[in-house]
Amino acid sequence: MKKLFATAVAAVMICSAIMTTAPAKASESTAPIVMEFPLVSFESETASWIITGSSFNSEFSTTTGVIDGTKALKISLSDRSLDWNIINNLSIIPQNQIWTIPPGKAMVASVTNPLDQAIQIRCNLTDIHGNTRMTFFAIEPNSTREIVWDADIIGTPGVKTGKWADDGYSQPGVDTAAGLVALDFYMAEPEVENVMPGLDTPTYIIDNITIKDIS
């Protein structure tokens, strides 16, 4: 009986040791993946990007707005939200990943406006330090534009600057060399009087989000 009791105690101690060390292994397995900014072309059947919101329709375009490959992503809003907390949002960087932009390179994206009225597309960039830079760009009617996040738009990490024009930015600059943890495209839905006035159902097509050498 004593031998059986001692064996049971030893088993409990071993089990406790395993349970104590298990979280460390789990933590190691969920360490952020750091990678150079990849090409996002909306070609894969398994999407790494996520669209959230309650009033959008998404589909693949195989003609208009296709810059790389055979497909581009088209997002149409059926209604503009008046609440900034529930706007429709396209998130590009998966959770638990860090995307870096090496010095000498810039992020670009091709955005198409298929409508007869100009639109404004916004993009928030968040770095590993918690800085979030809000950027925005005007896209003329029935046109495709390659938008570029150059040094001025990216800003100095942690330093707040602002520019309000057809293209602009606000909030702290981000550290793209250290890494971005979030990249979100959206529209200023609640600003119905100041941004895209009279446009209740804005639409945009996006493709070829990548980095390239700065000329």
Segment 190-207, tens digit of pLDDT: 999 999 999 999 999 999
CA distance 123 to 134: 6
> What would the mean pLDDT of 64-80 be, rounded to a whole number?
97
- Helix, strand and coil content of the chain, in percent to the nearest 5, comes to 15, 40, 45
Whether the model pTM is above 0.75: yes
pLDDT at 181 over 70: yes
* Alpha helix (H) residue ranges in 66-135: none
CA distance 133 to 124: 5
Q: What is the structure's pLDDT at 1?
A: 42
Residue type, 187: M
For residues 158 and 104, is the Cβ–Cβ distance under 8 A? no
CA distance 155 to 169: 9
- In which band, very low, low, confident or very high, does the pLDDT at 10 lie, cut at 50, 70 and 90? very low
Q: What is the structure's pLDDT at 2?
A: 41
Alpha carbon 21 to chain centroid, angstroms: 34
Q: What is the structure's pLDDT at 46?
A: 67
